[in-house]
Amino acid sequence: MMRDDLVRCLTAPNPSPLTGAGTNTYLIGSRDIAVIDPGPDIDAHLDAILALVRAGVPAGGRISHIVVTHAHRDHSALAPRLAARTNAPVLAFGDALAGRSPRMTALAGALPVSAEGLDLAFHPDRTLRDGETIRTPDWELVAHHTPGHLGGHLCLALGRVLFSGDHVMGWSTSIVAPPDGDMADYMASLHRLAGATWDRFLPGHGAPVENPAARLSELIRHRMAREAAILAALALGPARIPDLAARVYTDIPPTLLLAAERNVFAHLLDLEARNLVSATPAPHPDATYTRA
């Protein structure tokens, strides 16, 4: 079981419609400390992390590991400076393109750059494989590769508590934006997590998820409902992505419509791969889609 005093959280001062109140940085341990998602490159946040370490560790305590769930700048950009200040290695699944599916790799050259802020400068000191465990005398973290929001996304398990990054959050659904995101991978990762027993999720943004099983079930149903709504809209005739997003996402502010369009595209790519829709002239944000 996880001891409550093992985990502390700082929220970076980077609030936005996509990050909520800001990025959550988690510190685990009392002597050898892991920092999960150091966050955006903001001086005040670096200072806050180091101050929290100084205030909470016994003599000889130190940051021993810096673990990044995925290479979006709001999670990874501060890692190099924190590593330089602490001499701790940076661990992740890989760089910003690691884990990208072959299909998304093939599409990448024709697609716009994601507004999520891919951190192309990010390169970990050591990669973490799916199922790999990081051990210290007072804690163990197990890496779970959960592609979908990003091909190299990791969740980290501390017993039955999961640091869920941007894969599962309570306040919002995840953005799945090709070519960085892949809807088929995202759904598979949700189902994989749903096959285990969890006590709590600690996400990259927002408050803890206290009923993980219910939230996972809700997210799976939500995505299936979006898929059904897209197919229903296409039953009325061929359509392009902006029109489909306007029909399907009727409950969001205009500032999030672009993100909604990227989610629709992710669904369409998955549906096209399953031969449920066709794209003219080819799968692309500007294509016209038809129900098969």
Confidence band, pLDDT 50/70/90 cuts, at residue 60: confident
Q: What is the mean pLDDT of residues 42-60?
A: 88
pLDDT of residue 257: 84
Instruction: Tell me what the mean pLDDT of segment 6-23 comes to.
Output: 94
Distance, CA of 143 to CA of 53 (rounded, Å):
23
What does pTM read for this prediction?
0.94
pLDDT given for residue 226 in this prediction = 95
Question: What does the pLDDT read at residue 250?
Answer: 86
Last residue of one domain, picked from the residues 170, 204, 221 = 221
pLDDT band of residue 2 (cuts 50, 70, 90) is very low
Residues 6+ apart with CB under 8 A from 196: none
- Say yes or no: 241 and 195 in one domain: no
Altogether, the residues listed in the chain come to a count of: 292
Say yes or no: 73 and 123 in one domain.
yes
| pLDDT tens digits along 143-153 | 999 999 999 99
Q: Are residues 213 and 70 in the same domain?
A: yes
- Residue 284: other Cβ atoms inside 10 A: 17
Q: CATH code at 270?
A: 1.10.10
Structural domain ending residue among the three candidates 170, 186, 221: 221
Question: Do residues 274 and 141 both lie within one domain?
Answer: no
Q: Which of 107, 116, 140, 132 is nearest to 1 (CA)?
A: 140
Q: For strand 62-67 and strand 90-92, is the pairing parallel, antiparallel, or unpaired?
A: parallel
Biggest alpha carbon distance in the chain? 68
Full domain range(s) for residue 122: 4-221
Domain match, 168 and 233 both: no
Q: Average of pLDDT values for 36-51? A: 97
Question: What pLDDT is recorded for position 139?
Answer: 94
Whether residue 141 is predicted with pLDDT greater than 90 in this model: the reply is: yes
pLDDT of residue 223: 96
**Per-residue pLDDT at 178 exceeds 90:** yes
- pLDDT on residue 3: 47
Do 126 and 247 lie in a common domain? no
CATH number at residue 13: 3.60.15.10
**Residues 95, 235 within the same domain:** no
- How many domains are contained in the chain? 2
Residues 146, 257: one domain?
Answer: no
CA 136 remoteness from chain centre: 25
Of 221, 237, 254, the last residue of a domain is 221
76 and 145 assigned to the same domain: yes
pLDDT of residue 150: 96
> In terms of C-beta distances under 8 Å and separation of at least 24 residues, what long-range contacts does 215-220 make, across chains too?
215/168, 215/170, 216/168, 216/190, 219/168, 219/173, 219/190, 220/187, 220/190, 220/191, 220/194
Please give the residue that has the higher pLDDT: either 55 or 188.
188
Q: Does residue 39 sit in the same domain as residue 172?
A: yes
One domain for residues 142 and 183:
yes
Reported as half-sphere exposure (CB side, CA atoms, 13 A), residue 125 has a value of 14
Clarify whether residues 59 and 93 are in a common domain: yes
